[in-house]
Amino acid sequence: MSNSENTEITEISNGITKIFSLQGNTSIIDSRNYRTLEEFKKYLTEKISYLMVNDFERLINILYRIDIDEEKLQQIFADKNNTPGELCDLIIKRQLQKIQFRKQFKKGEF
């Protein structure tokens, strides 16, 4: 794995870890180093699954803070077979967009 891939995974996981920490509570996502994005996705999917069953309100608050497209969320939740993996993909995609936007902003390319 290249340094840029490792840096990107770290940026993604750190950003999501912060977002999963609401109102000063400890994040349910730990800040360990992940070797691959797939490893992080698996971990995040497990946490989302837990929240869907045990603390749905907290999950909704987190999704709101991440700024996930509401229409996409409605599509996922309208499907009775919605999966935590689909939410995980949306979260990671949105985090990647934020990272890219910050990089462009720093370069003055906005």
Exposure of 38 by Cβ count < 10 A (0-12 exposed, 13-18 middle, 19+ buried)? exposed
Nearest to 85 by CA among 47, 34, 32, 28: 47
Distance CA 41, CA 104 (A): 25
Exposure of 40 by Cβ count < 10 A (0-12 exposed, 13-18 middle, 19+ buried)? buried
pLDDT value, residue 109 = 63
Tens of pLDDT, residues 41-100: 998 999 899 999 999 998 888 898 888 888 988 888 888 776 899 999 999 999 988 888
Read off the pLDDT of each residue in 97-107 and give the average, rounded to a whole number: 83
- Domain coordinates of the chain in residue numbers? 3-107
Tens of pLDDT, residues 2-32: 665 667 777 888 777 777 775 556 666 666 6
Please compute Rg for the chain using Cα positions.
14
- By three-state DSSP, how is residue 53 classified? helix
